Amino acid sequence: MKQALLILENGKVYRGVGFGASVISYGELVFNTSMTGYTESITDPSYAGQILTFSFPLIGNYGVSSKWGESDKVHPVGIVVSELCNSPFHREQESSLSEFLEKFSKGGIAGIDTRELVKIIRHAGTMPAVLMVGQEGEKLNAAITFEAALAKVTNKDEIGFLDWPSKVARTKTEFFVWQKNTLTKITETELVNFSNYKKVAIIDCGVKQNILREVAKRGFVTVVVPPNITFAEIQKYNVSGVVVSNGPGDPRDYPYIHNLLKQILEYSLNEKNHLPIFGICLGHQLISYIIGAEVFKMKFGNRGVNQPVQNILNQKAFLTSQNHSYAVRPETIPEGWESLFVNLNDSSVEGLRHKNKPIFSVQFHPEACGGPKDTNWLFDDFVRSIL
């Protein structure tokens, strides 16, 4: 069996059983409280640069299938679990969790007290950590310090990396439609075959695959564009709406996306124009930041599928799936805009909208796979604002 060490910046060291690839990785230590959906989590680009701890005791019991992924790779730099299932079973499984991690050169540690670890993060906040996974039979030094472990890290480019969207997003525009109950990629040349379809641009800051599905299945050509594109390049596709996607990192760090969104918002807010905008997760934070609201880093963030939010307009409550470290201060939302949802646990802003224009955003994931689909209707609202 492989050996593994998890070394926290505060000096705490955990020794456990290693799985996945034999690597040494550095990342921000975070936790997720979901009982299921680990495949969706580890393929979510929003986890790029992080070491992901699952608080649910048993992980890996139904294996991994490519059908369940939110992208085509593993994005956390490491995984932490209490108990790893080595004999998973599901009719659609293609590999075990350990085999899947090894395929993408990512390591994991099992057999440690994740409840204690979550309590540490909740008390002290998210913190840097190093995960060391050794070869079978290799003995790792349990007395190693965080500084000594950090010196062994080879993924130095990920330390202090600021431009996460460009690291995980597409580098060129792609097109998708919904055909035969499947999200289907088409070429730009094939767009002529869908001339009767309206188009929605999705700005890919680390977009989850199910966001593409939810837009495409409502009868649109989804034009998925890289985050460094210009508004003029987007306009050439004659899009009828814009989705600003989820993604990793600090929304205050991406000036090229800020410039793009300033142009899009300025165009949409012009009384002569009609261009609905829908921001999701990082997209919500980016829109909030652009309009002048204050964005701040939370102590340990919200990551899980049981986050309760309330619609301020009709007082209805919903369970939501979330994965974020940053939030918006409600008292800083500028005139002309209003809060749309509030978190019932911590009172953070869970959405906002413009009072007169079809522009709105949510902090949670309305596509929510895996997780609750209580707020899937928001895509329908977005579609109605287009039509």
Q: What is the pTM of this model?
A: 0.95
3-state secondary structure of 357: coil
The answer, yes or no, to whether residue 162 has pLDDT greater than 90, is: no
Question: Which run of H or E residues covers position 83?
Answer: strand 83-84
Q: Burial-class residue 209 by CB neighbours within 10 Å (0-12, 13-18, 19+).
A: buried
Looking at residue 139, its pLDDT comes to 72
**Residue whose token pair is 């310090």:** 145
Q: What is the pLDDT, as a whole number, of residue 362?
A: 98
Give 107-157 pLDDT, tens digit per residue. 999 999 999 999 999 999 999 999 999 976 677 877 788 999 988 887 766
pLDDT at 221 over 90: yes
pLDDT digits (tens, 9 = 90+) for 173-209: 999 999 999 999 999 999 999 999 999 999 999 999 9
pLDDT score of 136 = 64
- pLDDT tens-digit readout, 16-29: 999 999 999 999 99
Tell me what pLDDT residue 387 has: 86
Q: Is 90 exceeded by the pLDDT of residue 30?
A: yes
The whole-angstrom separation of Cα 181 and Cα 217 is 8
Using pLDDT thresholds of 50, 70 and 90, give the confidence band for residue 158.
low
pLDDT at 157: 67
Q: Rounded distance, CA 150 to CA 294, Å? A: 33
DSSP states along 56-67: SSEE-TT-B-GG
Active site residue ranges: 281, 365, 367
What pLDDT, on a 0 to 100 scale, did the predictor assign at position 332? 97
Query: Which whole number is the average pLDDT over 252-264?
Result: 97
In this prediction, residue 371 carries a pLDDT of 87
Name the one residue in this structure whose structure tokens are 């800083």.
332
Domains of the chain with bracketed CATH: 2-160 (3.50.30.20), 165-386 (3.40.50.880)
